[in-house]
Amino acid sequence: MPDPVPLRAVLFDRDATLIVDVPYNGDPSLVQPMPTALDAVARVREAGLGVGVVSNQSGIARGLLIEAQVQAVNARVDELFGGFDVWRYCPHGPEDGCECRKPKPGMVRSAAGALGLDASEVAVVGDIAADLTAAHAAGARAVLVPTPVTRPEEVAAAAFVADTLAAAVELLLAGGVPSPAQASPERGEG
């Protein structure tokens, strides 16, 4: 049975998903794409879907970065990847209690809304459970692409896991990740 909710956009986590994670990076010259990331984003565009980024940037709240540095790094990511339709980042720390910081759903809902979509029409691809939890809480699809820092329990709990960003995109484009409306109740929460 076809999924009643079409996939219309893919939102990517930034650090360790789109680009190599350099903790609290404020230097655009250090930005390097993750393996298969450039091809994965190009494939999403070729499929006619929107592309966006949702990223926690607590370095701002911690006083390790200023917002202009985060924006400069984001601009470099845009340059390398050919631009994104929407960017959302959370400048808050874990203790701030905001609604935007992943695993809360605020950024996912905001990015979907900026694209004129319901969260059920988007997918989130990330490297840790917080990315998947934010997606599920918003009502979006989610795929985990583990890295060496992804905890084994996060991988075990994820309903959909791909070895590379390109594989995650192909799984999504093939309809292999159902919308929450289509997902069976026994699926994991990620």
pLDDT of residue 24: 96
Distance CA 168, CA 171 (A): 5
Based on the residue annotation, tell me whether 15 is a catalytic residue of this protein.
Answer: yes
Distance CA 36, CA 39 (A): 5
| Residues 92 and 101 sit within 8 Å (Cβ to Cβ) | yes
Positive or negative, the CA dihedral 101, 106, 109, 110 is: negative
pLDDT of residue 179: 84
| Residues 190 and 138 sit within 8 Å (Cβ to Cβ) | no
pLDDT of residue 1: 62
pLDDT of residue 99: 94
Write the single-letter amino acid at 18.
Answer: L
pLDDT of residue 174: 95
Of 13, 21, 118, 131, the catalytic one is 13
Based on the residue annotation, tell me whether 13 is a catalytic residue of this protein.
Answer: yes
pLDDT < 50: residue spans in the chain: 184-190
Of 3, 15, 78, 118, the catalytic one is 15
DSSP, collapsed to helix, strand or coil, labels residue 61 as: coil
pLDDT of residue 180: 81
pLDDT of residue 188: 35
**Under CATH, what is the fold of the domain 9-173?**
Rossmann fold (3.40.50)
Residue 116 structure tokens: 């004129």
